[in-house]
Amino acid sequence: MSRPPNREFQEWWNKQRATDHDLLGDKSDGSTRSFLTVDIQTVPSDRESVEKERARSARQLSWVCLLRFQQIASFLAWLSNGFLSLLRTANRRIASPDSLSDSKSSRLYRVIKVFLVVVLLLLVFELVAYFKGWHFSPPTARADVYGMIGLIYAKWLEIRADYLAPPLQSLTNMCIVLFLVQSIDRVILILGCCWIKLRGLKPVASMEYPTNAKNDDVNVEDYPMVLVQIPMCNEREVYQQSIAAVCILDWPKDRMLVQVLDDSDEVDVQHLIMAEVQKWQQRGVRILYRHRLIRTGYKAGNLKSAMNCDYVQEYEFVAIFDADFQPAPDFLKRTIPHFKGRDDLALVQARWAFVNRDENLLTRLQNINLSFHFEVEQQVNGVFINFFGFNGTAGVWRIKALEESGGWLERTTVEDMDIAVRAHLCGWKFVFLNDVKCLCELPETYEAYKKQQHRWHSGPMQLFRLCFVDILRSKVSWLKKANLIFLFFLLRKLILPFYSFTLFCIILPLTMFLPEAELPTWVVCYVPGVMSILSILPCLQAFPFIVPYLLFENTMSVTKFNAMISGLFRFGSSYEWVVTKKLGRSSETDLVAFEKESEPLMRSNSLHRSSSDSGIEELSKLELSKKAGKRKKNRLYRKELALAFILLTASVRSLLSAQGVHFYFLLFQGISFLVIGLDLIGEQVS
């Protein structure tokens, strides 16, 4: 049966065709248009459509403006929160009674304070002139128009141009010359390092010891007697790992004696170290514990006292490791062979490697600096002139060379450099092994790093003052004398901190207020940038930190300059010997490895392990003593803060005179001084 047609749909369709016939049929003007044709029209002339379009555009513009305002408000909120956090941190540290680290009697700090007051007054004066429209040039109208301020400003410009700028320009030119000389020295060192790499130059020993050899296969007569010394003082965090690393050295046990030279004045630390020594004695290691009641001469006195023992005469070599150093088991087998057949060789120095180089920004920047020191300075000097400064640890000395050079002396805080210079003047030679590395720890707090740098830069000036006449009277060649005086001491120990601090912390801010004295842009930006790139070449993985490294080195110039001056003129702070604080980052994991290495020692000696042999008891005591120790706090560094405000003030003056490169350098350098002055770099200890 057929379905009836749908009349309702037919009627609706006819009605739609009648209403919208222009969509499918002919138009009244006779023209035809397809259903798929699209008309593109201009802006309608109808008034209502125009008003709607305007209203929609206005709403869109308001939404865009609101979005921009929200972004600006978020940025300002973030900036204000950061600034308030910085102020709270500064206020908290200022309120702390022991937050200030600088001595009130610091001569350099008093000079910097006066300098800060002067630049602030100059900035106020220049701002007044700027807003009066003088734009840092003398008023051209009559004096009665500008009054007394105009007369004073015109007179100031005259004094500035005729009397202040010429001596400042002379000082600037002198520092630029020193800067270029030091840069040339650094380029020569880099070229020497490249030559060593290209030619494959490195010290080669005349013999090799077998590795992993059994005791039955070893002829002990081929192994010289070696004394191993570990000087330490209150090394609560690292004593276990250093003693363990030395005790498992791959060397016949009856041909090696370990001396633990403890200068600790904390009784609990003494007991912990004695217990550790007794533990290794039970395992068959020849190890002795020595403690001095009177700590005279610091590390030099400690080593001197140990070398005066009668049994030392039985030994031919002495290896020295500071408390945080962990030599590899084959350390002696890779260093002692270089003495074979070379009776004029006094020292074999190994390179340092750092277990905590990626711990924070401070350790990363230190790693860059020390990598250049070992990879470039020590290696080039060792290969080409057989002399470099002893690093105080991770080295093996011929005892005969120590005795003939006068032994350890207590006259400076750099006893390692002292004995190296005296041995060099006696004709002894040195070897640096860049491929033999000894693990150690970098200072993780700025306070510890600053004290270390103060000692490292004041001691050389003490030594230079004491041994200058001895260098001139020595029998070495004039070339070696010139190298010691002009390169080793003057250029790298005196000139470098002098021009770095004077040029970038004093002269550069002054040239903003005395524009007649000019500091070229290439001195401020380009040459330091190139030198930073060269310095980072031995540590390419740290390339992203090249800008912080440049700023940090300039910031540290105030500490190095102050140390250099105090050492040169024998100020009291130059004789302070402060033990660098260690944190023992890797002590627990290394203890497990050392315990595994020591198991063959126990089996070979058929000893029973006591409850304390595993080190658990000592480790628990160590943790308890850490918790019970004095809580450290971050500090404020007033010299750095004062210099931060000086540089930021100079950056404002540079901005007014539209000096782009100088402004950015002063701004970022001032911020870096501010960060370090508030102790916001490195490990935050409280």
Helical pair 546-555 and 557-568, crossing angle rounded to 10 deg: 30
Q: What is the pLDDT of residues 409-443, one digit of tens each?
A: 999 989 999 999 999 999 999 999 999 999 999 99
* Segments of the chain with pLDDT less than 50: 2, 22-43, 103-105, 141-145, 587-589, 591-592, 602-616, 618-623, 626-629
Please enumerate in sequence order all residues whose Cβ is within 8 A of that of 463, keeping only pairs 6 or more positions apart, or say none: 412, 414, 417, 418, 421, 489
Give me the catalytic one of 262, 322, 324, 416: 416
- Can you tell me the distance from the alpha carbon of 456 to that of 450, in angstroms, rounded to the nearest whole number? 10
Give me the catalytic one of 263, 418, 613, 679: 263
Residue 550: burial class (beta carbons within 10 Å; 0-12, 13-18, 19+): buried
Q: 336 with 318: CB under 8 angstroms?
A: no
Helical pair 638-656 and 660-677, crossing angle rounded to 10 deg: 160
User: Would you state the structure tokens that stand for residue 280, as one six-digit string?
Assistant: 């290794």
- Can you tell me the distance from the alpha carbon of 456 to that of 414, in angstroms, rounded to the nearest whole number? 7
* Predicted local confidence at residue 661, as pLDDT: 87
Q: How far, rounded to the nearest angstrom, does the alpha carbon of residue 356 sit from its chain's CA centroid? A: 13
* Predicted local confidence at residue 141, as pLDDT: 47
* Predicted local confidence at residue 104, as pLDDT: 44
Residue 67: burial class (beta carbons within 10 Å; 0-12, 13-18, 19+): exposed
- Can you tell me the distance from the alpha carbon of 579 to that of 590, in angstroms, rounded to the nearest whole number? 23
In the block, tokens 């070893």 appear at 218
Q: Output the CA–CA distances (angstroms, integers) from residue 218 to 210, 212, 214, 223, 274, in the order listed.
A: 9, 10, 7, 9, 32
Q: Output the CA–CA distances (angstroms, integers) from residue 64 to 58, 361, 392, in the order listed.
A: 10, 40, 65
Known active-site residue 310? no
- Can you tell me the distance from the alpha carbon of 502 to that of 519, in angstroms, rounded to the nearest whole number? 12
Please enumerate in sequence order all residues whose Cβ is within 8 A of that of 511, keeping only pairs 6 or more positions apart, or say none: 168, 172, 517, 518, 519, 662
Known active-site residue 416? yes
Q: 318 with 228: CB under 8 angstroms?
A: yes
Please enumerate in sequence order all residues whose Cβ is within 8 A of that of 513, keeping only pairs 6 or more positions apart, or say none: 119, 122, 123, 126, 650, 653
Q: Which helix (H) or strand (E) element contains residue 651? A: helix 638-656
In the block, tokens 């039985």 appear at 314
* Predicted local confidence at residue 357, as pLDDT: 92
Which of these, 437, 436, 444, lies nearest to 358 by C-alpha position?
444
Phi, psi of 582 (to 5 degrees): -115, 155
Question: How many CB atoms lie under 10 A from the CB of residue 638?
Answer: 18
Q: 429 with 359: CB under 8 angstroms?
A: no
